[in-house]
Amino acid sequence: MAIKQQVMALNPARKGNMGRLNSSQPLYVYDTLIAQPWLRGVIAQIRGEKVIPGVDAGDEKAVKKAKEGLKRQLPIRAIHYSKFRNNHRSSEDAVPESFLFQTTID
Instruction: Tell me how far apart the terminal alpha carbons of the chain are, to the nearest angstrom.
Output: 36
Residue 103 pLDDT grade (very low, low, confident, very high; cuts 50, 70, 90)? low
What is the pLDDT, as a whole number, of residue 106?
54
What's the confidence (pLDDT) of residue 67? 96
Kindly tell me if the per-residue pLDDT of 102 is higher than 80.
no
Residue ranges covered by each domain of the chain: 7-98
Cβ atoms of 83 and 17 closer than 8 Å: no
Residues 23-81 have pLDDT tens digits of 778 888 889 999 999 999 999 999 999 999 999 999 999 999 999 999 999 998 887 88
pLDDT at 64: 96
Residue 100's identity, in one-letter code, is L
Closest CA to 9 of 72, 102, 73: 102
Task: Kindly report each contact of residues 96-104 with a partner whose C-beta sits within 8 Å and lies 24 or more positions away, as own/partner.
Answer: 98/9, 98/23, 98/24, 100/8, 103/79, 104/79
| Averaged pLDDT for residues 70-97 | 87
pTM for this structure? Answer: 0.73
| More confident site: 44 or 102 | 44
* Between 106 and 17, residue with greater pLDDT: 17
Q: CB of 25 within 8 A of CB of 7?
A: yes
